[in-house]
Structure formats: C-alpha cells, structure tokens
A and B are shown apart, each in its own frame.
Chain A
Amino acid sequence: MTTQVIDWWAIAPPLCLVAAAITALLVDAFAPRGSRALPCAISLVGVLAALLASAALSSHSRATFCLPASGIEQPVNCSWVIDDVTLAWWLIILVSTGLIGMLLQPSVHRGELPGGELYFLLLSSATGALCLAAARDLITLLVALETLSLPSFALVGLRRRNRRGAEAALKFFIVSVVATAFTLLGISMVYGATGSVAAGRIATSVATGAAVEPVIAVGMVLTLVGFGFKVAVVPFQVWVPDTYVGAPIGVAAYLSVVSKAAGLAGLVIVLVRFFSPYVDLWSPMVAVAAALTMTLGNLAALRQSHVVRLLAWSSVAQAGYLLVPLAAGGSEADIGAMQAYALMYAIVNVSAFAVVGAVSAWGAVTVDDFRGLVRTRPWLGLALTFALLCLAGLPPGIVGLVAKVAIFRSAVEGELTWLAVVLAINVALGLVYYLRFVAALLTPAPVRAAVAEPPASGQPGGQREPHGAELFVVIVTFIAAAVLSIFPGPLFFVLP
C-alpha cells in the first residue's frame, strides 16, 4: 500500500469553490446585518480564483488519483483527468455560475433569499459540476452527480414562505432520486460484469469482449438515466417546466445552463470514455433521444404563454440539439461542436433569464406582459430580442446560427442525414415561438398594466429599476454574444 501523490493543482478549481462556499456561509452567519452583498462578493472571488486556476492548468493535460498498473489487463487508471474537454466544460460552468450568482443577488438584496445559504448551496452544486467533468470512474461520477443534485433541490425550494417553490423542490427531488437510483443500479451491473469502475479498465474489458454483453449494455443504459435527467432528455423532462416556474428565476437559469452542461459532460464521459466500443449500440439510441427531445420540447413550447415555461420547454428543445453531436459518434470534433453550442447556449440563455428575471420582478408573467418592452426599456428589450434570435439561430444572432451549423455538420458527417433533416424542421418549429415572443417585445402597442404599474398583490418590487448586478449580467452577455456574432472563432476554442 503506497500513499497516493495528489496533484493539488489539478483539484484547485473545485477547492476554490468549496472554500468560497464555506466562507460565504460563515461570513453571512457572523457578519453584521446589512452587509447583504458580502456572500455574493465572496463567491465571485471564489469563481474568479477557480477560473484563474483552470487557466493555469491549460498548458497540458494532467491526471491524479491514479490506480497503479497491475499486469497488462489492468493499465494505469486515473479517476481525475484534466484535458481540453474538461477545461472547456469548466469554463462554461464557472462563467455561467459567476453570472448566475450575480443574477441572484437582487433577490438577496430584497430579502427574498437568504444570502449565506444561497451562495453556499450554489457553489457546492457547482463544485459537483466541476468534479463531474473531470471524473473518470463510476463512483466519482456518481458522487459528483449527487454533489451537483442535492444542493440544487434546496436551491429550488429556498424562497421564503413560498409553497410553489416547496412543491417544485419536492417534485424535482423525487424524480431526481429515482433517476439516481437507476444510475446506481446501472453502475452496480457494470461493476458486476466487468469487475471495475474505472473508465480505462471498463473500456478495455468491453473492447476485448467478443460480442455486446447484455448485462453490460443494460448497465450502460441505466447508468445514463441520472445524467439524462440532468440534461432533460425525453422521457426525463417531466420535472422541467414546474421546477423552473417554482424556482427563483436565477436558479432556473442555473438548472438550464450549469446543471445541463454538467449532465452533458457526464453523458459524454460515460459513453465515450467507458463504452466507446459499443458506439453502434448507443449512437442510434442517442440519435432517437435527441430527435424526440427537440421535437417534444419545441411542440410543447409552441403552446406556452407563460414566459418561464416557454424558456423551460425551449431549454428542453436545446438539449435535443446539444445531443446531436454525441449521437454522431462523439469524436473529438463532435465534442467540440457540442461545447461550442453549449457555450453559445450558456451565454444567451443566461442573458434571456436575466432580462426575464428583471422584468418579472415587477409582475410580468406571460408573453403578453412583455409587450412593448423594446419601447419602454430599450436595453432590456433589445438584449432579450437578441438572445431569443441567437437561440432561434437567425441573423443578427449569427453566433447561434454558426453554432447550429456546427451541430448540423456533426450530424451530416456522422452519416445521420435523417437526424439533420429532423433538426432542420425543428429549427423552423422553434422559430415560431421565439418569433412570437420577439414580435411581442417589439409591438409598439401600449404596454399592459402588469408592466406599467406595480402588481396588486403587494409583493416587494413594483415598477422598480433593475438592480445593478442584473444590468451588468445583461450587458456582459449581450456584448459577448454580439462580439461572437461578428467573430465566431473563439466559440470553437476546443475544436481540433
């Protein structure tokens, strides 16, 4: 038994988040009242430190927590690997977490959410997301998945005196626990059949087997359930609309961006690092799931007039698009296309949620309530318009268009022309509801009472000015999306 040498640099980014999480909780507990911005500031520092630490890692790939080799059939296997793919996921996760942290600050400021707990839970969950992207054995994956999930249940139900939030959290919790149980069952089957939980060893033993072993195949499919739940792949999308509506809007943004990105990272790791020899088995499965997810998401979104529900179903549809490169086989170029799309989606979706959060704080709920936003609040309105056009993938949102081109390219080069055609039809379907929303924003008609006047229910807020942090997020994401529309190159930082 030798002591393990731990590469502390390799685990520095999650450690930064953990440290910031604990500090934020303690500071909030002992700091004098009235310093409500402190937990947010601490977590932003933590996120920045994690980003810097990841940047320092980018020169070459690293691995730690390794099992030594024992014989030919048991090569060295590391549970924690940092390569370009991991770092790209980390960038997406950290940037989105930082922006969403800022989005949540106005609610803390108004006393709707407890600051210390909020940022502790947010950063803990993000730590799970980071670990998920670096994990290379099934146990680490599962622990990371749970670290991602458990705080997010609490986040959904964190709003004080809000029954809807509690209900949403409970629903989310139950479905998620069932999904994780499936994953656990799958892991145990894979372990039973291969005798290992490590990526390299499972891949080796799968590759040396002459045929597809039913036990391993079933285990693989069950393992995917927990991650598919995070990504909101059909049929694991049922929790999405109610949870998004019940949760604070910033938390909904977190679920739709960070949680989804982490789930995708998990799917990619399981399928590509563990079961790549079974590509002929899982590729059609993922393709069908992608087609169903985008179609169902778009069809359901067509019928929504509630803005958060609309964004919820749109995020289901986008999850379908994001799965396409994985269905195409998950080669390096495919993963690059997926991450380019995920980065674009993270930026513009955070932007959309930021504007919706700012506007809904004064009582706007349905698409009709947003009528004329471009006239009354030009910057908020234009930013939301641009974000929606990016999601739809139409110029001037060229960044969305280019990301879609990358997705289409994966589908076509992976010999999935039928999926590309389904994708084409879905792009047009999605256009219908994004356009309806954009048309409402641009209507010159007088704005309805909900936006023009304080809500009658006596909630805090009324026609208030957007909080500085919200405006900052809106402006930063808008500028990022606009610059990437002119120079889309940086979007593809991971493509070979």
Chain B
Amino acid sequence: MISASSFGGLEFLVAGPAVGAALLPLLRDSRRVTQAAIGLASAVLAVSIWMWVDVVSADGAYVWQSNASWIAALDVHWRLGVDDLSAPLVVLTALLTWCCLVALLKRAPDCGGTSALVGLILVIEAGSIGTFVALDLVLFFVLFEVVLIPMWFVIAAWGDPHDEPGRRRAASRFLVVTVTGSALMLVAFLLLRSELGTFDLAALTERARVIESDRQILIAVLLMVGFGAKIPMWPLHFWLPDAHSKAPTVGSVLLAGVLLKLGTYGLLRFWYDVVPVGALEVAPYLGALGVVGIVYGALACLAQPDLKRLIAYSSVGHMGFVALAISTMTPQGLAAANFANVAHGVITALLFFVVGAVKDRVGDSGFGVIGRGLYARSPHLAAVLAVAAVASLGLPGLAGFWGEMLTMLAAYSPHPDLPQTTYLVFMVLAGLGVVLTTVYFVVAVRKVCQGVPASDAVTDVEADEWVAWLPLVALTVLLGLAPMVMLWSADVVAALPVTP
C-alpha cells in the first residue's frame, strides 16, 4: 500500500458531498448554494484524480485503504479502498456531478427548490462514490441504497413538468425494482457471510474458492438478478425508459452515467473476485440476456418517436454490451466491461445534456416537435448532438468504439470452460446490434439535424453549457484516440488480443 491510510482521502470523497448536502442549503440563496456546491464538487473531482494517479502508480492494487468499526454487533466496518476497477468510476461520478452542478447554475428546472436539488445531487454523489469504494458488504449495501430516495425525489419532484402522475409512477417503479434487486443482493451477501464468516471484501476474495459450487451458483444467480435490476438487464429493464425520459436533465445524466454503473460494477466485483466458480455456470445466461438486450434495445430505438426515450433505450443496448463482456469471465472481458462502462457514462451523459437542452428550448423531445434542420437553426448544438450520437454508435476514434470492439473480441474467445460456439453466436448477434445501432442513430441524426429547417430558430449552445459539456466531449475524443488511458495496467494489456 502506497498512500497512508490516515490521510482520509476516501473519507473526504464520501463524507464531503454528504456533509455539503446537509449544510449548503442553509445558505438559502439558491445561486450561492449552487456555486458553493460547484466548489465542493471541484475539490472532490481533484481528489478523485489524485486518487486515480495513485492507483495507476500502484499498478491497480488497492490504495487509500482505511478501516473503522461501525456496527460492532453485526461486524460491520467502514472499510474503504480503491483499485483499478473502481477508480475510473469514482472519477466518472465526480466529473458528472460537477457537470450537472455547472448545468444547474443558470438553468435550473422551473419547479423551484434548486437548493434542495443541489443537495440531493450531492447525496447521490456521496452514495455512489461510497458504493464504489466500500470494501465491506453491508456498507456497500447501505450506500447502494443511499442513492435511491434522492434519485426518486429528483425524478418525482423535478421531472417532466407536463406529466405529474407519469413522473411519479416512473420514479416509484425505478425505486421498487431497484429495491427488490438490492434486497436479493443482500441475501447473497449474507449467504457469503454465513459461508465465510466475514463481510470484508478483501478477506472474501482470498477465501472465496472454498465455497462449494452449489452455493456459489445460488449466490451468483442472486447477484445476477440483484444487480441485473440496476444495470438494467433485459427483462428487468422496464423501469428504465420511463425513469430516464421523465427525469430532469441532471437526473437522466446521473441515472445513466452513474447509477447504472453501480450494477455493472457490483457484478464485476463480486462475480470475478468472490464467486468465480458459480459465475462460470451462470455466465452464459447473463451473456444471452445481454445479447437480447442489445438487439431489443436497438429495435426499440428504431421505433421511438421521441429523442429522449431513444437515448434511454440505447442505454439498454449499451449495458447489454457490458453484460456480455462481463459474461466472458476473462481479463479481456473485465477490461472491455470497465471501458464500455466509462465510455457509456461519458457519451450518454453528453447525449442527455444535449437532448435536455433541445427539450428546454422547444418544449418537448418528440421528433415532430423538435422539427428538422437543427444544423441550420443552431449549428453548435446540432454538432455536439451529432458527435455524441456517432460516438454512441461506436465510430472508431471515439470512446464508444473500444468498448464494443473489445467486448466482441472478448466474446470471440471466452473463458475455456464456457461454451465457445454459444459465445460465437452471441458475438454475431452483438455485431447485428452494432449495425442496428448505427441505423437508428443515423436516422435520428437525419431527422433532427438535417433536412429543410423548421421556421423557428433555436438558441445555440451558450457559454455555461459549453463549460458543462466540453469536458465530456474532450473525454469522448481522448478515450477514443488514446484508450491506453484506461487500458494501462500491465496484466490487462497482456491479456488484450490487440494492442490498442
């Protein structure tokens, strides 16, 4: 371990936003609250980048570990630590929170109560980062649940202003499905505890192989269903389109960019580290569901008359790729899943920002309402939308490409104990999904950006929006051109079939 654990960096990443959420609304003036929150989020972002540098220099091992007892009677501790799997997601969370807060500075939702919204966003940041860095199963579970009520609020109170029952239904459906999943996840955690007698993730990783394989399969299934509700994995995805499209822009960004990652992160962490034997038995089912998600998401997108819902459904497809990558149970799959995770977070967040901006300007996100010819009506907005769309469909040179590419390569040579032919079929179907994704995004861009311009002008991208979006655009290009930023660790590079 390189860094001293007494330093408290991870404690700051978790507690800082939480304390901020409690104290900042006392400033009363919502503009000052937002400014102060941006300051706090910048500090969190800076610390998270520092942490990432430390992780890189430790070659991916756990750093910044700390341990303090919390509930002695249940043997629950505040065990924190971060490694190469969680570090990029922590940075992603910190970055997206920062972008959301910047976006709120000038254009808060009409419903008012921006201070409360800022507070909730900070709670979501604290809970998400906490989940990524928690090394105690019960702590992981508690922090996993911490984000739910704030996100429910964000959707139910600041969501689509035209559809109050709809946004409330969407919020509650999101919450109920996720809680069912996380309760099953808790059952899996407690099964692990009853087998091995500890909630400590590091100790579990060392001892896990002694669990007999029946038990491992049961735990792996419970974890798959539990995290699958969050990812969301087809057929548990039904809460997602409504929740994303009814949520306010910042809600959609955090939902797609951060909350879905909690599911894939959990699956990666526990399947690979803790129950690999059981996971191998279940993996083909996850792969199949992932592929169904890819194809289903693409077909659903083709039929969408609404741009925001289209992007929501595209998440089902992209997360299907991540699920397929996870299901290969190889180091390549792990690297691909992690890369696709981050890429999807960045690109989809950008897409939701742009579509949210369009929706704010014209009042709705239906293709009919937006009208055609956005290139002529507001060129910069249209250009960012087009860049994000082609990044999302996996154009080489942008971030989306590597996630899909590496996933398909991983599916070509899955773990030797997995059925090779089945995975070959998965790979072909995923390739079909890529084609369909290209089709629907190109059609969407055609419908919105090209064509004879509708008569009404649309305000172009403004300065504050550029500030919130440019980091995401830059990251999209950076991850596309220099994927080594994320694929640096020696064992990952050695495992890759090609050198990126």
Chain A residues near B (Cβ < 8 Å): 336, 340, 389, 394-396, 398, 401-402, 405-406, 408-409, 411-413, 417, 420-421, 423-425, 427-428, 431-432, 435-436, 439, 442, 444, 488-489, 492, 495
Given the interface pairs A432-B176, A435-B172, A492-B71, the reply to whether A421 lies near B149 with Cβ below 8 Å is no
| Interchain CA distance A88-B446 in the complex, whole Å | 69
Residue contact B187 to A420, C-beta cutoff 8 Å: yes
Residue contact A439 to B186, C-beta cutoff 8 Å: no
**Number of CB contacts from chain A to chain B under 8 A:** 95
* Beyond A424-B184, A427-B179, 15 extra complex contacts between A and B, CB < 8 Å: A394-B145, A394-B149, A395-B127, A395-B142, A395-B145, A406-B74, A412-B187, A412-B193, A417-B187, A421-B187, A424-B180, A428-B176, A435-B175, A435-B176, A492-B73
Query: When the two chains form the complex, which single residue of B73, B148, B177, B186 contacts A336, counting CB atoms closer than 8 Å?
Result: B73
Whether B454 sits at the interface, judged by CB under 8 Å, is: no
Query: When the two chains form the complex, which single residue of A389, A412, A442 contacts B190, counting CB atoms closer than 8 Å?
Result: A412
Residue contact A405 to B141, C-beta cutoff 8 Å: yes
Given the interface pairs A431-B176, A439-B156, the reply to whether A424 lies near B187 with Cβ below 8 Å is yes
Min C-beta distance of B159 to chain A, whole Å:
12
Whether B418 sits at the interface, judged by CB under 8 Å, is: no
Residue on B nearest A426 in the bound complex, by CB = B183
| Interchain CA distance A98-B111 in the complex, whole Å | 43
Given the interface pairs A395-B149, A405-B186, the reply to whether A417 lies near B176 with Cβ below 8 Å is no
- Please encode chain B, from 160 to 204, with 1 for each CB lying within 8 Å of some chain A CB and 0 for all others: 000000001000100111011001101100110110000000000
Residue contact A492 to B74, C-beta cutoff 8 Å: yes
Residue contact A396 to B149, C-beta cutoff 8 Å: yes
Whether B250 sits at the interface, judged by CB under 8 Å, is: no
Contacts of A420 in B (CB 8 A): 187, 190
Whether B458 sits at the interface, judged by CB under 8 Å, is: no
Contacts of B186 in A (CB 8 A): 405, 408, 424
Residue contact A398 to B194, C-beta cutoff 8 Å: no
Contacts of B149 in A (CB 8 A): 389, 394-396
Contacts of B127 in A (CB 8 A): 395
Whether B152 sits at the interface, judged by CB under 8 Å, is: yes
Residue contact A409 to B180, C-beta cutoff 8 Å: no
- Please encode chain B, from 422 to 441, with 1 for each CB lying within 8 Å of some chain A CB and 0 for all others: 00000000000000000000
Residue contact A405 to B138, C-beta cutoff 8 Å: yes
Residue contact A409 to B172, C-beta cutoff 8 Å: no
Residue contact A413 to B190, C-beta cutoff 8 Å: yes
Whether B218 sits at the interface, judged by CB under 8 Å, is: yes
Query: When the two chains form the complex, which single residue of A394, A442, A444 contacts B179, counting CB atoms closer than 8 Å?
Result: A394
Residue contact B184 to A405, C-beta cutoff 8 Å: no
| Interchain CA distance A76-B146 in the complex, whole Å | 52
Closest 3 CB pairs of A and B: A492-B73, A424-B183, A412-B190
Query: When the two chains form the complex, which single residue of A394, A411, A417, A425 contacts B180, counting CB atoms closer than 8 Å?
Result: A425
Residue on B nearest A395 in the bound complex, by CB = B146
Whether B157 sits at the interface, judged by CB under 8 Å, is: yes
Min C-beta distance of A395 to chain B, whole Å:
4
Residue contact A417 to B191, C-beta cutoff 8 Å: yes
Residue contact A489 to B187, C-beta cutoff 8 Å: no
Query: When the two chains form the complex, which single residue of A394, A405, A425 contacts B148, counting CB atoms closer than 8 Å?
Result: A394
Query: When the two chains form the complex, which single residue of B111, B156, B191 contacts A412, counting CB atoms closer than 8 Å?
Result: B191
Whether B463 sits at the interface, judged by CB under 8 Å, is: no
Residue on A nearest B138 in the bound complex, by CB = A405
Min C-beta distance of B150 to chain A, whole Å:
9
Contacts of A431 in B (CB 8 A): 175-176, 179
| Interchain CA distance A420-B190 in the complex, whole Å | 10
Contacts of A428 in B (CB 8 A): 176-177, 179-180, 183
Residue contact A423 to B74, C-beta cutoff 8 Å: no
* Sampled A-B contacts (22; CB under 8 Å): A394-B149, A395-B145, A396-B146, A402-B142, A405-B141, A412-B187, A412-B194, A413-B194, A423-B183, A424-B180, A427-B179, A427-B180, A431-B175, A432-B172, A435-B176, A439-B172, A442-B153, A442-B157, A489-B71, A492-B71, A492-B72, A492-B74
Query: Which of A396, A435, A442, A488 has the most chain B CB atoms inside 10 A of its CB?
Result: A435
- Please encode chain B, from 68 to 86, with 1 for each CB lying within 8 Å of some chain A CB and 0 for all others: 0011111000000000000
Min C-beta distance of B390 to chain A, whole Å:
39
Residue on B nearest A486 in the bound complex, by CB = B70
Residue on A nearest B215 in the bound complex, by CB = A417
Residue contact A409 to B148, C-beta cutoff 8 Å: no
| Interchain CA distance A406-B72 in the complex, whole Å | 12
Residue contact A409 to B193, C-beta cutoff 8 Å: yes
Given the interface pairs A394-B148, A439-B156, the reply to whether A489 lies near B73 with Cβ below 8 Å is yes
Min C-beta distance of B274 to chain A, whole Å:
16
Min C-beta distance of A308 to chain B, whole Å:
23
Min C-beta distance of A239 to chain B, whole Å:
30
Contacts of B70 in A (CB 8 A): 488-489
